[in-house]
Amino acid sequence: MNGTIAVTRSLQKNANGYYDFELTYLGLGAFDAFNQILSLALTDYPEIREVVQEMEVIYQLNFYELNSDDFNTAVKELERFFNNLKNPNELQELARRVWEESVVALVRKDPRYQPS
């Protein structure tokens, strides 16, 4: 079983009547690690965390429902969290790898993304 992190959803449905998504699939260990760090990084933003984690029971994190301001807040808080890690434990290091290797590229392609 895999977990999914969906970052961007197309504005219009495709020819088959579905939205296209920019997403990444993760093993459950990597998904759980990232999800735990997401909770910590967004502690001060429970509304944003709730939107992203709404579908976590089916192993899916969704950033696509966030408005531009909330999306950029989530990105900046995750970046801040990872940049401030000193001597990360195994879980934190796994979550950092997920962020750097799987999520950042999708974030940067998202039209809502505003580099700091």
Q: Give the model confidence (pLDDT) of 45-91 as tens digits.
A: 999 999 999 998 889 999 999 999 999 999 999 999 999 999 999 99
Terminal-residue alpha carbon distance, the chain: 35
For residues 18 and 70, which has the higher predicted lDDT (pLDDT)? 70
Strands (E), 10-91: 21-27, 60-62
Closest CA to 33 of 83, 80, 84, 100: 100
* Residues forming beta bridges with residue 2, ordered by sequence position: 27
The pTM assigned to this predicted structure is: 0.88
* pLDDT at res. 104: 96
Could you report the per-residue pLDDT of 99-114, keeping only the tens digit for each?
A: 999 999 999 999 999 9
Q: At 8, list the tokens.
A: 């961007």
